[in-house]
Amino acid sequence: MTAITSPPPGGPGARATAAGIVLTSLMAAQFLMTLDTSVLNVSIATVAEDVGTTVTGVQTAITLYALVMAAFTITGGKLGTIWGRKRAFTIGLVVYCSGSAVTAVAPNLTVLILGWSVLEGLGAALILPAIVGLVAANFDPVERRRAYGLVASASAVAVAVGPLVGGVLTTYASWRYVFAGEVVLGAVIYLLARRTTDSPVEAGQRLDPLGTALSALGLTLIVYGILRSGSWGLVRPTPDAPAWFGLSPVLWLFLGGGIVLLGFGAWERRRLEGGGSALVDPELLRVAPLRSGLIAFFFQYLVQMGMFFVIPLYLSVALGLSAVATGVRLLPLSVALLVAAVGIPRLLPHASPRAVVRTGFLMLFGAIVVLIALLEVGSGPEIVTWPLLIGGLGAGALASQLGSVTVSSVTESRSAEVGGLENTAINLGSSVGTALAGAVLISALTASFLGGLSARADVPAALTDRASVELSAGVPFVSDDDVRAALADADVAPAAADAVIEANADARITGLRAGLGVLGLCCLLALFFLRAIPPVPAGEDADPGRNDGGPRVATGT
């Protein structure tokens, strides 16, 4: 792999080893940052009991982690420009590991939120943009595609193996070992990252406090609205949700966040016109390839995280698999993603990024269509294997191109800014994907379940009416065993109970198909925003004599 700046001594083998160590450290850091979004999703009840809180309290901690990370990623990118990418990466790693250590010994919810949500979220906000900048500083434009693909694949691997790791440790040891292990992994990353080449610090750059506050507030309002849309409703409030002027608070959060972000853009332009240093240059979004790349990132993670939400529900609830078995069944997607992310740049180095990205979204769409069709058959857990393999190859195709597309659309000196925007798009896409798939799934499940009860003669009308009232806010996605136990506690007659259980099973499949269907539509929608993706790989059409002030590209490999 070709490294940037002065080649290390020892010949091509030594340079390849050094580049491999750098890439390993950045992949491990990306893996670590993403792991916390999924590792304890299967252990929420156990964590709640250990720290003396409720399931809602732990879910709040997970939500706040996503909020802090999304709100301060742009600021983290700017700090990388001011301090240097390597220094921002190192500081972020120390903050993150401090948060992991605090979380590992947390005696209550307050300490858990301090360590997990606040410190780890702030550390991730520094590390993630720095990773983008460090890839740009350490690899030439051609090798960046493979490097970005591997870094992106590390995220998917973390999401897939997170439930498996969390399930195994919670079952056989303690969930606290997850966070203790993160401290150890962080120390290893720190030692490996010492070989990383930094990019020059830009003189005259300063942090914009008001811009930081505006961007954080605007993104917080939007992301929080997305996360609450499933329980509060998008426009009309659900029965148990608060109502602001007769509408769901989610709508007002979106409007408020949009207005604040518009104010943020106006403030940044004013600072630039006055000769000051802006948190992010709004003109960056006028760069067509960058804009298309960010939109593609948004849709990729919307679909990817939506699938990671819907498919585990099918495996764990509908089929009754354990957390460990569910994690194993998700591995084909991560393996296929890794193969495609590595293989496409290596086997097809001159492939058109635009064509590869389009193919990736079409493969994700195909995977969803196949899974919807197989759900109609109603087989066992093996039906997800081929759709996950196809979807993993599609996501890997996207991962092999998009990081290089976004960073190569501007000069290397602006890679940290691009990293902040890129990770903001990723976080927004992940939040929207989970919320959208969940909201559509529950809505379709509710309509199908209540409609199914009404159509069954063996279900008393009084029971149907009672269910309609009690479940008006949405039917929970629960297993047949849980439904049977609840019906037994309610002294429902066996014939009626069997009919309700059958209606619940049918409604679950209907809800799953609906959730997957909306993700498929998002794949097709993404195709309309890809025209500005370059048709030629980065570096192939570059002027060899160009000097934009970035690091010199070494000729050795």
Q: Is the dihedral of CA 477, 481, 482, 488 positive or negative?
A: positive
Q: In angstroms, rounded to a whole number, what is the distance separating the alpha carbons of residues 183 and 166?
A: 16
pLDDT computed for residue 123 by the predictor: 95
Radius of gyration of the chain (CA): 24
pLDDT computed for residue 517 by the predictor: 94
Residue 34 is which amino acid? T
In a domain, 289, yes or no: no
Q: Which residue's entry shows tokens 């790693």? A: 93
User: Which pair of tokens denotes residue 65?
Assistant: 């982690």
Q: What's the rounded mean pLDDT across residues 6-34? A: 74
Q: Is the dihedral of CA 370, 371, 375, 377 positive or negative?
A: positive
pLDDT computed for residue 545 by the predictor: 39
pLDDT exceeds 60 at position 73: yes
The Cβ of residue 420 has, within 10 Å, a number of other Cβ atoms equal to 29
In a domain, 21, yes or no: yes
pLDDT computed for residue 446 by the predictor: 77
Residue 379 is which amino acid? S
In a domain, 313, yes or no: no
Maximum mean pLDDT: which of 46-55, 203-212, 349-358, 457-466: 349-358
8 A C-beta contact, residue 3 and residue 555: no
**Per-residue exposure over 14-53, b if at least 16 CB sit within 10 Å of its own CB, e if not:** ebbebbebbbbbbbbbbbbbbbbbbbbbbbbebbbebbeb
Partnered with residue 553 across adjacent β-strands are 4
Query: DSSP secondary structure string, 145-189?
Result: HHHHHHHHHHHHHHHHHHHHHHHHHHHHS-THHHHHHHHHHHHHH
pLDDT computed for residue 550 by the predictor: 37
pLDDT tens sequence across 288-345: 999 999 999 999 999 998 888 888 878 877 787 777 787 788 888 888 988 898 888 8
Three-state DSSP string of 111-127: HHHHHHHHHHHHHHHHH
Q: What's the rounded mean pLDDT across residues 353-376? A: 93
pLDDT computed for residue 11 by the predictor: 53
Query: Residue 556's pLDDT band (boundaries 50, 70, 90)?
Result: very low
Q: What's the rounded mean pLDDT across residues 253-282? A: 88
The Cβ of residue 13 has, within 10 Å, a number of other Cβ atoms equal to 8
User: Which pair of tokens denotes residue 513?
Assistant: 């198909």
pLDDT computed for residue 554 by the predictor: 33
Q: In angstroms, rounded to a whole number, what is the distance separating the alpha carbons of residues 344 and 17?
A: 22
Residue 322, sorted as left (phi over 0), alpha (psi -120 to 50) or beta, turns out to be: beta
Maximum mean pLDDT: which of 229-238, 470-479, 536-545: 229-238
Q: Which of 165, 186, 207 is the last residue of a domain?
A: 207
In a domain, 237, yes or no: no
Q: What's the rounded mean pLDDT across residues 228-257? A: 84
Q: In angstroms, rounded to a whole number, what is the distance separating the alpha carbons of residues 538 and 143?
A: 9
In a domain, 481, yes or no: yes
pLDDT exceeds 90 at position 15: no
Q: Which of 207, 224, 241 is the last residue of a domain?
A: 207
**Per-residue exposure over 518-536, b if at least 16 CB sit within 10 Å of its own CB, e if not:** bbbebbeebeebbebbbee
pLDDT computed for residue 393 by the predictor: 94
pLDDT exceeds 90 at position 34: no
Percent of the chain with pLDDT over 70: 85
In the three-class reduction of DSSP (H, G, I as helix; E, B as strand; rest coil), residue 547 is classed as coil
Q: Which of 154, 188, 207 is the last residue of a domain?
A: 207
pLDDT computed for residue 10 by the predictor: 53
The Cβ of residue 467 has, within 10 Å, a number of other Cβ atoms equal to 18
Q: What's the rounded mean pLDDT across residues 431-441? A: 82
Q: In angstroms, rounded to a whole number, what is the distance separating the alpha carbons of residues 261 and 142?
A: 35
pLDDT computed for residue 296 by the predictor: 95
Q: In angstroms, rounded to a whole number, what is the distance separating the alpha carbons of residues 81 and 325?
A: 43
Partnered with residue 89 across adjacent β-strands are none
Q: What's the rounded mean pLDDT across residues 438-452? A: 77
Q: Among 25-29, 155-159, 182-186, 463-467, which stretch is predicted with the lowest mean pLDDT?
A: 463-467
8 A C-beta contact, residue 77 and residue 420: yes
Query: Residue 549's pLDDT band (boundaries 50, 70, 90)?
Result: very low
In a domain, 11, yes or no: yes
pLDDT computed for residue 135 by the predictor: 87
**Count of domains in the chain?**
2
Distance set, CA 460 to CA 190, 465, 494 (Å): 64, 9, 12
Distance set, CA 151 to CA 33, 134, 148 (Å): 11, 11, 5
Q: What's the rounded mean pLDDT across residues 209-218? A: 90
pLDDT exceeds 80 at position 55: no
Mean pLDDT, the chain, whole residue set: 82
Partnered with residue 3 across adjacent β-strands are 139
Maximum mean pLDDT: which of 47-51, 283-287, 523-527: 523-527
8 A C-beta contact, residue 182 and residue 31: no
pLDDT computed for residue 113 by the predictor: 93
Q: In angstroms, rounded to a whole number, what is the distance separating the alpha carbons of residues 507 and 230?
A: 18
pLDDT exceeds 70 at position 94: yes
Q: In angstroms, rounded to a whole number, what is the distance separating the alpha carbons of residues 473 and 513?
A: 20
Residue 213 is which amino acid? A
Phi and psi (nearest 5°) for 247? -120, 160
Q: In angstroms, rounded to a whole number, what is the distance separating the alpha carbons of residues 515 and 445?
A: 10
What residues make up the domain containing 132?
Answer: 1-207
Q: What residues contact residue 238 under an 8 Å CB cut-off, 6+ apart?
A: 231, 232, 248, 473, 474
8 A C-beta contact, residue 205 and residue 277: yes
Q: In angstroms, rounded to a whole number, what is the distance separating the alpha carbons of residues 362 and 415?
A: 29
In a domain, 32, yes or no: yes
pLDDT computed for residue 552 by the predictor: 33
Query: Residue 524's pLDDT band (boundaries 50, 70, 90)?
Result: very high
pLDDT tens sequence across 482-522: 767 777 766 677 777 777 778 777 888 888 899 999 999 99
CATH number at residue 145: 1.20.1250.20
pLDDT exceeds 70 at position 280: yes
Q: End-to-end CA distance of the chain: give it in Å, rounded.
A: 6
pLDDT tens sequence across 115-153: 998 999 999 999 998 998 888 888 887 788 788 888 888
Dihedral, CA of residue 493, residue 494, residue 496 and residue 499, to nearest 10: 170
DSSP type of residue 199:
P
In a domain, 365, yes or no: no
Q: In angstroms, rounded to a whole number, what is the distance separating the alpha carbons of residues 266 and 548?
A: 28
8 A C-beta contact, residue 279 and residue 75: yes
Q: Is the dihedral of CA 378, 381, 386, 387 positive or negative?
A: positive
pLDDT computed for residue 547 by the predictor: 37
pLDDT exceeds 70 at position 6: no
Maximum mean pLDDT: which of 3-12, 214-223, 471-480, 523-532: 523-532
